[in-house]
Structure 1
Amino acid sequence: MRSSKGLSQLTLPGLPFVAMAAVAVVDVLAGRGLGFLPLLTLGPTFASVSGGMRRTAAVGVIALAICLPLAYYNGSLLTWQNNLTVLTIIAVTAASMLAARLRLRRERELADLRLVAEAAQRVLLRPVPRRAGDLRLALSYTSAAAEARIGGDLYEVVTTPAGVRLIIGDVQGKGLGAVETAAWVLGAFREAAYDEPDLGAVADRLEASLNRQLGKEMFVTAILAEVRAEEVVLLNCGHPAPLVLRRDGRVESLDPPEGALPLGLAALADSGRKTHGYPFGTYDQILFYTDGVIETRDGLGRFYPLADRLSVLSRPDPQAALDELRADLLVHAGGPLQDDAAMLLLRRQRS
């Protein structure tokens, strides 16, 4: 299925010529009593939307080249009405050239800004270890479509004396502000995961860091996890619940018994955050993900049915299995994603 972006890339360059040709045909068919030649200004106007200054100027010259013969055919050449039409085409062409120049400069600035943000994200989001004790890990991170703004998905896995701890989250908002927030959260987590005795204390450190550095205007949905012997402990902060694929093929959603507010909004809660433990045995798998996965829609507007597609994770290699799930997600979307999508897979092997 061809994307709307691809269609626009095909139609916009030809739109000025289609418009001018239509005006010429209508003017000839209407006869000498009606004058449609001022509508030739549509040519350079449309050209400024997709082309540069030179292309816009060339379309303006073509508009004049169409105007003068048609004015002669209509018997209006050198009349004040036609002279005004010629001056209008020249003025609109000049204005469209200026608009095209400003648009291209703005596009270059936005492209540079996007490259900076993407580079910052790559520095922040380090590769996760492929093995940690009896765990095998796999990661999939898919950036949003080129026209979408930079997102704030984040993840980290660390091995501490308390066990393997991880975070996956999504920052409210987009752009460099989201990247900055993700940087503070990840920096605080990398320190707190080693220092604090439990996930509740880690979350408190993250909350304090957010409030101190970024104020109360930003929040982060996140899940903190700690893998123990035959168990995984979760602290859900307003994030989509992870899914477990049991060794017998059953799929379970690890929904918290009670909801919790995202990081940055703890002051609004009546009580503190609570952790919850779940069985996590040999050959069980846990998939953590951000909302960009489950909010991906197909051409009919249907959300991606993640829970129904987890059977692909039965492949021996966790990374190959997760790559296959990502490919299935892209097929469902029918093109580039409109939001960043991160997936982190943990598989418990035999010790």
Structure 2
Amino acid sequence: MDAALVDRHDATKADEVFAETYALRVSPLDRGPSGLSGRLQRSHVGSITIDDIVVGVDFRFQRHPSDRILLTRIHSGVVQAAQGDRSPEVFTEGDVAAIGAVSDRPVAGTSCGRAQHYTVVPIDRRVLEAVACSSSGGSQRVELLGQAPVSVEAGRRMANAIDYATALAVTDPSASTDPLVASSLARHLAAVMLTTFPHRALHAPDDHEPMPAPLAKAIEYIEQHVDTDVTITSVAKAVHTSTRSLQLMFRRYRDCTPMQHLRDVRMLRAHADLIAADAASTSVAAVATRWGFGHSGRFAGRYRERFGETPSATLHRSPAAERRTEVGLDSIFV
């Protein structure tokens, strides 16, 4: 782990680091003379930075639209963050947030608590698009739609992925400098983000024709209801169009059917579950069944075609139990 970038008593340095590192303008809510003080401890896995932040004063922050999303795990404290004219979203202990998720909207909010403790991993939007392209086999543009996970379970998966990245940086310095490990980790974080936060992954037609609103809403609906009994009829009804029109729009703009898109999203969710799972208590069959893949052999074949390895290999490579024991608060603080 690298030396601390900010110590507990250097308020001026804290302001500078928050501005340079996160493009955040911060100011204490209390007008007293103490300023913003705390600790920011940085680790690296290749070019990925993983920051452990402790702040002891309540503060407000502002951020202009940025190419980097602040993937944030809240260990303690309360964060309220609003993008543009949207209502503030509130994140508390145990939550994860994608601060600045929506690309074209500024962020404003507050962070409060006597002992605020966060892990922050800045993620370049281009990594998300690279993962989306590799999964679709074509050019895609990813638009995140919100800063909060689509479900509690999705948030847990994201928290496990962040904890694993932290553990790797803290406990295995040799691996953290390996470019292959760093590249793999960046793609894993991006893949889990795409299954955690609401988004649209859009093909880019040559004539730049915009995606029809019903199709965008259908994609969002599928993302948010992927763990339910989704049918083409239920999707069409939700977005107020006919099943025929929906099929034509998916074929033209996504080069697939609505149900093929649903299976694709479920495959990504299964991949994220296997990354986060503990092999001692989870089986490939259980994950496949949960996401609607009743035929284990067919699931394994499609999974290997998509991700380049068997689902069993993914499950046994990064067990969640090992991740949880590798990192704790005592190993984070200096």
Q: Same fold (TM over 0.5)?
A: no
TM-score (norm 1): 0.25
Which one has a larger percent strand, Structure 1 or Structure 2? 2
Compute the TM-score of the two structures, normalised by the length of structure 2. Answer: 0.25
- Determine which structure has more spread, i.e. the larger CA radius of gyration: 1
